[in-house]
Amino acid sequence: MLLQNKQIAIVGGGPGGLTLARLLQQSGATVKVYERDLNRHVRVQGATLDLHDESGLAALRAAGLLEEFKAHYRPGADKLRLTDKHATIVLDQHAEAQADTFGDASFRPEIDRGPLRNILLDSLHPNTVAWNSQLASMQPAGAGWQLTFQSGAMAKADIVIGADGANSKIRPLLTPIRPFYSGVTVVEGSLYDSAQNAPRIHELMQGGKIFAMDDSKTLVVSAKGDGSLAFYTGCKTAETWARDSGINFSEVAQVLAWFRQEFAGWDDIWQELFAAETTHCVPRPQYCMPLDQTWLAQPNLTLLGDAAHLMPPYAGEGVNMAMLDALELSNCLASDQFSNMQAAIAHYEAQMRQRASAVAGETLAQTEALHSPHALAHLVDLFAGNETAR
């Protein structure tokens, strides 16, 4: 096996990096994951994740973790209510009978990020993850790499896999290609105890999701298992809007004032998201890697997830792409069909880029459609299975 006597470093302990670690350990590889979070108990931010049968769930099946997933996913959390800006429901999946189940291509069960991370962490060998390890720099060291972390700690590895997300420190060592701005900026927010702090929205969610579309803007709200919620506004803006706006996004009152102005004419129910002092908001301009990106494969370095193929979130493919990357990369690295590590990595990267390019094209089209005057009609057609809407 190509991985025999090799020390593998995975930089980034998100779902993609942890899934890869699990799959490689199943093949007998020696793996260390370097994660910048202080420890495993740090609260995981972000909305719930819907895993797809052909990607995220396929990776969990290969990792022997599907039963653990079934014990921790949230039935009903995938149910959606689609509304206009007045909170008028135009599509309600809560009123539909649940026909799909595990094994069905269209079944996309939801799980909170924290429980998914715990499932993956608990599957790894003890001390696989080095916490509080934010990469500062990386230099060649013989046939491998020397990693230096902000804490001053250092480590060596024969192979490094960058699973370190949109602002990857690993990616520039492979390619100078940078992402381009999609035209949309998201304001991401989280709110504790939605039943008390946003009671009307909490009732409207029914433990699932709300997609509100109108005026070429989007508002997505997701319930979480701990009683909190996550939300995302989406607006077409200049690339530097967040910086140039003068808004202090840590001040909820300033964000609420912006929302009232930007979303003028929207029902005041949505202002509940910004009314609680505990609401936390972060602006996130949405970027996408060029669809024709390519680079020369290296014998000791590669990427997965957002580090490899960053794209906007509007097709719901991010975590699924990362976990499928992990599955395909682990298969290549553990295979006997390649003469050397560079050939195995080249095969993985070629199929990964081709797959990501197709998904990114669909995602960009979806991003444009959801921020158009016809977004509601587009989504109604999409959920009705009208192929012309795709």
**Binding site per annotation, positions for FAD:** 50, 113, 306
Output the six-digit token pair for 1: 């096996």
* Dist CA 8 CA 176 (whole Å): 24
Alpha helices in the chain (DSSP H): 15-26, 56-62, 66-72, 113-122, 194-197, 199-205, 241-244, 252-262, 272-275, 306-309, 318-333, 341-370, 375-383
Annotation: binding site for NADPH? 43
Q: Which residue has the tokens 């420890």?
A: 39
Q: Which amino acid is at 282?
A: V
**39: Cβ contacts below 8 Å, ≥ 6 apart:** 131, 132
Phi, psi of 95, rounded to the nearest 5 degrees? -85, -5
Output the six-digit token pair for 381: 């057609």
- Of 306, 94, 334, the closest CA to residue 179 belongs to 306
- Of 278, 264, 117, 110, the closest CA to residue 190 belongs to 278
* Dist CA 215 CA 373 (whole Å): 6
Annotation: binding site? 43, 50, 113, 306
